[in-house]
Amino acid sequence: MPTITVEKTVADTDARATPGTRGSYRKNSKTRAARRAMRAAYRTRRGMAPLYATAAQAVAGATLAGADDGWKTALAATAAGAATTVAWGRWDGRGLVATRHRRKKLPTRGDFIAAASAVTTSGSLVTAMAATGGIQAGHSPYPALLIAWTLGHGIYWWRRGKSTAAPAPTLGEQMQLWQDNVAGIDGSLPHSRLVDVITTDYGWTAVIVLNKGNWRKAVSAAHDIAGDLDLPEEMIQIEKAVGKSARRAIIAVFDRNPLQDGTDYPGPHILNKDTGQAEVGIFYDGAPARYAFWKPSGPVHSVIYGATDGGKSRFLDMLLGTERHNGIVSIVCDPQGGQSLPRWREAVDWYEDTAQGGLAQLYAIRNVMYERSARYSLMEWTDHKGRVLRGRDHFVVDDPDPLISVTIDEAHRVLALPGAVALVLEIVLMARKCGIKLRLVFQGPKANMFGAGPESTDIREQVQSGNTVMFRTASALTDSIGLPGWEVNPSQLPMYWPDGTSTAGLGYIKGPDNRQAQFRAHFDRDPAHWATTGTTPTMEKSAAAVCGKAYDERLDRLAARLRGETPVLPDDAFTGGPADPARLATSSDPIAQAAAAIANEAPAGTDEKVAAFLAERGRPVGRNTIAQGTGLTVSAVKNALTRLKGKKQAVDVDRGIWAHPDHADNDIDTTELAEAA
């Protein structure tokens, strides 16, 4: 192919037409400037929004003023805007999911009022301008009104922008980890999503929405989720979303555990006497953790679990201080020689520092229970309709008697004594209507802690149906026993915080809140202050009268203990009633008659009668049959069998079935089994 060479000369360049070159450059410059202005306006749209809205009002007013009946258009637009604003303020978009799984939320009350005001006032201004010719030079009020509108609504807008952090444009690192690792096909919770993500002082919290299953699935996967998010296990908390769908759970992720600092006991005013509930600590989100002393039906029994240095003693200090200064009678047994609760020796109505002393307290409390029961069954009272009735089937605090709270620390030592298990079961089943609250404290919820025999399980079930406080425990095998049905692991609570300080008081509480979340009890830094101030509440005279010498001589025994002596409990400490018959002399007083019947419930020779019946029977027999054969009450037979068991003169071969030791291996009559069942 031939090559063609073209020579370019200056003349050719000069001869080329160049019209419009300079004008095109100016046009392009103006376009670029406009684009830059638009980009700047877009970037500053949040801060300059009030000014832009004011300019739009001025333009709209001038435009509509030149049209026929333009004010009607403005009025219609104002009405539509107001209706849209109201709908926005009332619609929560429940069940609908927007981009990036962010559910539309209700505006705050302040934002809704500000939006409604902005729409209606701006619409009114535009309508007025459209009806009167727009912004006119001279004495027109519209420029001043527009400036006032800008300042009024702009100040709220700008202040709101400073106090409210702008939402992140993209998911944070942990949110992305959730999508990639937790919600992935191979993740801990496949196809789950996070909604209502909120930044907190301690990290962030959100609601987990599961694709399948319920909230327990999320709780049980907590440790795996911590691994997926590359977090320490103790820095994540998952609990049930109370009041929401069963598919939803609440997750809280901590930068630093908010319970590490703890809170100090503010004082006895934590008890609300209207509800009977006390705020005894805080949950991880700062919400109060409540403990019920009583409810409308009567006192609430309690059980407290915790390993050494778990925080049990300091928690009891707080409860006893609250009781002392709120008129609640406290009876305390500290079988560890008084070492756990030493501040309360002289600050409660009755204090014992041995297991035997605790058993004596239980016998006395049983007498008080029956004394009050007999009295309340004949009491006149006025119901909510103003009717005067006789016989009250519930307890009312301080009407006429105070609530009695019995605290037994290291309760397994008392329950190991002969007769204690049956005695505690009788009290825990019947004492609430009589205004008596039982609080048992253990190292853990193992069955052997509650004594031997089938009654031990009944005791545990009854006390756990009230308040259950579970601090750090030593065995994962017992976590589900102490808090049945709860997906928590108190045994996995750390002993120390990352800075080396103790986690004492950290645990779980099943009370009025019923939250399966970590809480930390208030710390009573000065229990001696609450123990040495105020007045010690005491039992009413009729209750004290049936407690016997064990109660009357309590201060004498305390003084002997402080002198270094070993005090001895009186003879009537472990009987069904006081030894002094003069206390319960028969009279026309129905209360005294009822108390006398209690004392006569186990007359002399009861044990001998029961033992002779078992020996003569020759085979295992039920308690009801023993009562019929001896002419004694079932309760008297039950107590006699417990005492005989301690003397090795009776054996419980099955639930409610007893026999002489020589006949324990004989066949049981099926009639007896059916009756016992």
Tell me: cis bond preceding 400? Omega within 30 of 0 counts.
Answer: yes
Phi and psi angles of residue 286, each rounded to the nearest 5 degrees, phi first: 90, -10
Dump the DSSP string for 180-194.
IIISSTTSSSTT-EE
Under DSSP, the state recorded for 453 is: S
Which residues in the chain come in under a pLDDT of 70?
A: 1-30, 41-43, 45-46, 90-108, 136-139, 160-172, 575-604, 669-677
Report in angstroms the alpha-carbon separations of 68 from 75, 118, 129, 427.
Answer: 14, 26, 13, 89
The half-sphere exposure of 153 on its side-chain side, counting CA atoms within 13 A, is 24
Q: What tokens does 348 get?
A: 């409660």
- Residue 480 is predicted with a pLDDT of 78
Closest C-alpha to 192, from 170, 206, 212:
212
Alpha carbon distance 408, 421 (integer Å): 13
Q: What tokens does 531 get?
A: 């123990």
Under DSSP, the state recorded for 206 is: E
Report whether 507 contacts 322 (CB < 8 A). Answer: no
Alpha carbon distance 142, 632 (integer Å): 100
- Residue 13 is predicted with a pLDDT of 44
Which residue has tokens 């202050």? 529
Alpha carbon distance 317, 504 (integer Å): 14
- Residue 74 is predicted with a pLDDT of 77
- Residue 290 is predicted with a pLDDT of 96
- Residue 281 is predicted with a pLDDT of 95
Phi and psi angles of residue 444, each rounded to the nearest 5 degrees, phi first: -160, 170
Report in angstroms the alpha-carbon separations of 570 from 554, 567, 595.
Answer: 10, 10, 20
Could you tell me where the beta strands, DSSP code E, fall in 558-660? 621-622, 651-654, 657-659
Sorted by where each starts, the structural domains of the chain and their CATH numbers stand as 31-163 (no CATH), 173-254 (3.30.980.40), 268-560 (3.40.50.300), 601-676 (1.10.10.10)
Report in angstroms the alpha-carbon separations of 478 from 325, 393, 492, 511.
Answer: 35, 36, 12, 19
Largest CA distance in the chain: 146
Alpha carbon distance 503, 501 (integer Å): 7
- Residue 60 is predicted with a pLDDT of 78
Which residue has tokens 């109505």? 349
Q: What tokens does 83 get?
A: 């209706």
- Contacts with 43 (C-beta within 8 Å, 6 or more apart), sequence order: none
- Residue 12 is predicted with a pLDDT of 47
Alpha carbon distance 136, 169 (integer Å): 43
Report in angstroms the alpha-carbon separations of 670 from 617, 619, 620, 652, 675.
Answer: 15, 12, 11, 16, 9
Alpha helices per DSSP H over 44-141 = 49-65, 70-90, 109-132
**Over the stretch 516-565, which tens digit does the pLDDT of each residue have?**
889 999 999 999 999 999 999 999 999 999 998 899 998 988 888 888 88
Report whether 302 contacts 463 (CB < 8 A). Answer: yes
Alpha carbon distance 147, 125 (integer Å): 12
